[in-house]
Chain A
């Protein structure tokens, strides 16, 4: 039966790899779900056979511990893959990069070290343009994220037949401004936000910017964002 992958059954040996890849330019519009398929095909093109999960509904073992929002770039998205072969890290990297879609590049290949649940924070570089002069935006934004309270609206799952509702929460402890500068290109913000691969609090920058825009009555008309770092609870990079 062809419905079952044929490299199954006896292949109990697998080699686990943790890779990081960057996702930039047009590739930032590839959704999480589509990325899975795109990666599978990339491995196929590279001639790197992926290990399939065993069991009733086998699927190729590729996993992304973190989701990256559509439209956001990244320098360091983690991806875990199980391969049927043991190969040099550099060889895997170069074979994949030769056949990657535009904008995606494997940056590192290695063995998994940390646990997914160790993931604690991400750093983002965000550029915004608003209807105010950049210096003014800078001043207000710095004020906004340095206050004792940072109130954002968190969307709650709408109950059946109800309108969408929001809850106000204070995200003070989940936000840390790392740097901010203004130029003609807009305001560049470096910021650290709570991130989790499990059930811990996960803070996206969008509600934060929405709250800022509302509080100061500032219209944001351009946003671009890039994830630059993923940190573990102990402060080290996630590897």
Chain B
């Protein structure tokens, strides 16, 4: 039986089979005999999660735009289908051709969160490939990875042939074009070592095998040294300088089954002006760049027409920082109203909006009101440079209550540097003040008589390329004491409290700032059956703990240790353009509870070169 036929038979017995067979509108099928480079774009999570991811949609369109390149989508199967695949020897395949991905030229993973690392290994294994890069031979695909977690790729260094740092729109094509040129014939692969050696010369490409890591007696890193002349001392991330002109897809793959974010998405800006000290995205995507209103309007229209979506959403780290936001929304609402499409604006702060605009947004969509004060007191918000004041929150809540909202979601972190019990009480107090505010509004002007506040607390995970990259994560004991204190401080039944799983946060902390030695733990945990770790029902911390023990690796060394400013961090040979001296400066200011202005108010000299297209740089 042909693979396709075999898959079709087996799909009759799995949940939501449409996820495993492709054929969606917008998926690209090419004649493989006319294609020179085949790329399997793997999202290391299930279809429902991966199909919602914007980066994949962009790179999928970008690569398929080149006539002789073919990019296909691959996701992690859910357990039921994974078992079926293994029992019946079905290798992991691309959704467009249903061909096994081990026959492709490239296998590329996007690393969106640390807990997807075991899925990367699992998918390589399902593809029928050795998980360790050194065991993969010349007749196997080149395995690459990018995405935000590639900023500290060291825990995956043993598994991945090369990492792509920064924005992928240009470098992906450069890489594929190099490969195409080095191919001896259409059906032959270039020699892998030689390819990697040439690829290492491309800006933004990091080939971990070309670097040796040595360690000090105390376990810290002594040096990271290139072992071939082609490998640069420092690998610099890629940036799209002319962001307005960058490739953007005019069609998406429209799934049949419902997925997490099932709508058209248009990217309005990249980077963030704010510099919250805990936020990795705020630094690794710098500088702040925007698209023009016309570009965004045009892309919105194309996408809606091509997909038939009834909802479009604007994507960015903070849409309210878009300089022409009022004009943009006016433009878009005209179109979406006429076409009966709803417009959603996820990361929009409504604090600095005019009445007129607010009215418009209300016409747009009345989803719940969410805030992320992150910390309970002004002092601690200053420490983390979250420039949102209590008055602002109250002011926005008031506007929102008058506009008919009666549900507020608040997000906080526990275990932030310098945090005390007073800061914890501040969380409860803030919740109470919002409730009081609601009841102080005349009944006829607010919606209903029942306010609901949900407070969600996550344990702070220090991340590379942030001012807190040096900081220890709070221990389990500290966090449970704080959770308990918060619970006791809450007096109202109108407030619902939720926590994150503590084990998850610990593991994230270890993987986020791990070095190459942590890779053994990932391998061992996967061998023990850890997979889909970001799913509550599959996450199995005891197995991870065993893996740490067996590898002789102490998670506390990675999670709970304070690093000195001059320690060589596992990611120090990677250059994300924001300087380490800036992070040191910011860390010191944090400990003095001093804030730093945002880029719009004035440049703080974070190290981003002037010529990167940043709106406020220079």
B500 at interface by CB-CB < 8 Å:
no
Whether, in the assembled complex, A31 has its beta carbon less than 8 Å from a beta carbon of chain B, the answer is yes
B132 within 8 Å of A by Cβ?
no
Cβ-defined partner of A38 (8 Å) among B256, B340, B343: B256
Q: How far is the CB of A170 from chain B (nearest CB, A)?
A: 27
List of A residues within 8 angstroms of B323 by Cβ: none
B16 in contact (CB, < 8 A): yes
Taking CB atoms, residues of chain A closer than 8 Å to B363 are 1-2
| Residues in B whose Cβ lies below 8 Å from that of A38 | 25, 254, 256
Q: At the interface with chain B, which of A40-48, A114-122, A130-138, A148-156?
A: A40-48
CA of A100 to CA of B256, assembled, Å: 12
Q: Which residues of B from 15 to 33 have beta carbons under 8 Å from A? A: 16-18, 21-25, 27, 29
State the Cβ distance, A129 to closest chain B Cβ, in Å: 9
* A31-B308 in contact (CB<8A): no
Q: Does the CB pair B310–A44 fall under 8 Å? A: yes
CA distance A120 to B342 in the complex (A): 41
Q: What is the 8 Å Cβ interface bit string for chain B, positions 20-64, against chain A (1 contact, 0 not)?
A: 011111010100000000000000000000000000000000000
Is B305 close to A, CB under 8 A? yes
- Does B337 touch A at the CB level, under 8 Å? yes
- Of the candidates A3, A7, A41, A222, the one whose C-beta lies within 8 Å of that of B254 is A41
A26 within 8 Å of B (CB atoms): yes
Most buried by A among B8, B27, B256: B256
- Size of the A side of the interface (Cβ < 8 Å), in residues, is 32
Are B308 and A42 in touch, CB under 8 angstroms?
Answer: yes
B309 adjacent to A29 (CB under 8 Å)? no
A238 to B313, CA, bound (A): 42
- Is A71 located at the chain interface by the 8 A CB criterion? yes
Size class of the contact patch on chain B: 20 to 34
| CA–CA, A29 and B23, complex, Å | 10
CB-CB under 8 A for A30 and B256, given A1-B363, A2-B364: yes
B366 in the interface (beta carbon within 8 A): yes
Contact between A2 and B254 (Cβ–Cβ < 8 Å)? Answer: no
A31 B24 Cβ-Cβ under 8 A: no
How distant is the Cα of A46 from the Cα of B365 in the complex, in angstroms? 26
B25 A29 Cβ-Cβ under 8 A = no
A61 to B: closest C-beta gap in Å:
14
What is the CA–CA distance of A203 and B528 in the complex, to the nearest angstrom? Answer: 46
Chain A nearest CB from B344 CB (Å) reads: 10
- B257/A41 in contact, CB under 8 A: no
Known contacts A2-B363, A29-B18; is A41 also within 8 Å of B340 by CB? no
The residues in A between 26 and 40 inclusive whose CB is less than 8 angstroms from any CB of B are 26-27, 29-31, 34-35, 37-38, 40
The reply to whether A101 and B340 contact each other, CB–CB distance below 8 Å, is: no
Q: For B18, give its contact among A31, A44, A99 (CB under 8 Å).
A: A31
Q: Which one of B1, B12, B23, B305 lies within 8 Å of A101 (CB-CB)?
A: B23
Contact present for B18 and A30 (CB under 8 Å) = yes
Task: Let me know if A70 and B17 touch, CB within 8 A.
Answer: yes
Q: A residues within 8 A CB of B365?
A: 2-3
Contact (A41, B11) CB under 8 Å given A6-B337, A99-B308: no
- Asked if A179 CB lies within 8 Å of chain B CBs, one says no
Q: How far is the CA of A31 from the CA of B62 in the complex (A)?
A: 30
Query: Is there an interface contact between A34 and B17, defined as CB atoms closer than 8 Å?
Result: no
Q: Is A5 an interface residue (CB 8 A)?
A: yes
Rounded to whole Å, the gap between the CB of A187 and the closest CB of chain B is: 16
Does A235 sit at the interface, judged by CB under 8 A?
A: no
B340/A26 in contact, CB under 8 A: no
Task: Report B328-379 residues with CB < 8 Å from chain A CB.
Answer: 337, 340, 342-343, 363-366
Compute how far the CA of A70 lies from the CA of B17 in the bound complex, rounded to whole angstroms: 9
Determine whether B258 belongs to the interface, using a CB cutoff of 8 Å to chain A: yes
- Please measure, in the bound complex, the distance between the C-alpha atom of A223 and the C-alpha atom of B305, giving whole angstroms: 38
Across the interface, do A29 and B17 meet the contact criterion of CB distance under 8 Å?
yes
A26-B22, A101-B23 known; A6-B340 Cβ under 8 A = yes
- Rounded to whole Å, the gap between the CB of A43 and the closest CB of chain B is 7
The smallest C-beta distance from B377 to any residue of chain A, in angstroms, reads 37
**In the assembly, what is the distance between CA of A43 and CA of B307, in Å?**
11
Q: Give the CA-CA distance A71 to B21 in the complex, in Å.
A: 11
Q: Mark A197-216, 1 if CB is under 8 A from B, else 0.
A: 00000000000000000000
Task: Decide yes or no whether A102 CB sits under 8 A from chain B.
Answer: yes
Q: Closest chain B residue to A50 by CB distance?
A: B340
Of all chain A residues, the one with the shortest Cβ separation from B306 is A45
Who on chain B is nearest to A206 by CB?
A: B12
Contact A222 B9 (CB under 8 A): yes
Q: CB-nearest residue of chain B relative to A60?
A: B310
**B21 → A minimal CB distance (Å):** 5
Instruction: List chain B residues, Cβ under 8 A from A103.
Output: 23
In contact, A26 and B21 (Cβ under 8 angstroms): yes
Question: For chain A residues 16-31, which have a beta carbon within 8 Å of chain B?
Answer: 25-27, 29-31
Identify which of A26, A35, A41 contacts B307 (C-beta below 8 A).
A41
The answer for the CA separation of A140 and B22 in the assembled complex, in Å, is 37
Expressed in whole angstroms, the minimum distance between the Cβ of B318 and any Cβ of chain A is 23
Shortest distance in angstroms between B97's beta carbon and chain A's nearest beta carbon? 12
* Interface set of A (CB-CB < 8 Å, partner B): 1-3, 5-7, 25-27, 29-31, 34-35, 37-38, 40-45, 70-71, 99-103, 222-224
CB-defined A-B contacts under 8 Å, sample of 27: A1-B363, A2-B342, A2-B365, A5-B340, A25-B23, A26-B22, A29-B11, A29-B17, A29-B18, A29-B21, A30-B18, A31-B16, A35-B256, A38-B256, A40-B308, A43-B308, A45-B305, A70-B12, A70-B17, A71-B8, A71-B11, A71-B12, A99-B25, A101-B25, A102-B25, A102-B29, A223-B9
Per CB-CB distance, the 5 closest pairs between chain A and chain B, nearest first, are A41-B308, A26-B23, A44-B308, A45-B308, A34-B256
**Can you name 4 extra interface pairs (CB under 8 A) apart from A26-B22, A71-B17?**
A26-B21, A44-B308, A100-B25, A102-B23
B interface with A by C-beta (< 8 Å): 1, 8-9, 11-12, 16-18, 21-25, 27, 29, 254, 256-258, 305-310, 337, 340, 342-343, 363-366
